Structure 1
Amino acid sequence: MSTCERCGATFHCAMADAGPDGKADPTPCWCTALPPAVPVPGANSAVGCWCPACLKAHIAAQASPPARC
């Protein structure tokens, strides 16, 4: 299981976590179905994945027009 870098929730990341058989997960990660919103972390990056809720909230915030005073 992976841990969300934003909120600490645990979730399955097919790109980082093993599948049910303990081998690399052959299925695409759930995040590939969403529009690109943040740079993908590199292998040596300190940045990790976000859980579905955090990534969806980030995408929604990016799509919203800025608030006016």
Structure 2
Amino acid sequence: MSQCTLCGATFQCGQTDPQAGAACWCMVLPPAIPVPGSRVVGCWCPACLQAHIATLPRSQ
């Protein structure tokens, strides 16, 4: 389990769970923050990441 660096919630991260056997759920979302491996931001839970994406300007 991973912990959201914004709200502290725990969530399943496919990148850190070898049992998942696939890419993380966040890979299907639009790019919005630096990748977790950069440690600039860290992983966000689905709720925080989707809320952040909703605030981004949409490109035409």
TM-score, normalised to structure 2, is: 0.81
Q: Is 1:31 matched up with 2:26?
A: yes
Which one has the bigger helix percentage? 2
Aligned length: 58
Cα-Cα RMSD: 1.8
Gaps (5+ residues) in structure 2? none
Question: Segments of 4+ in structure 1 off by > 6 A?
Answer: none
Greater C-alpha radius of gyration: 1
Gaps (5+ residues) in structure 1? 20-24, 65-69
TM-score, normalised to structure 1, is: 0.72
Q: Which residue of 2 aligns with 1:22?
A: none
Per the alignment, in what secondary structure is the counterpart of residue 42 of structure 1? helix
1:27: Cα distance to partner? 1.2
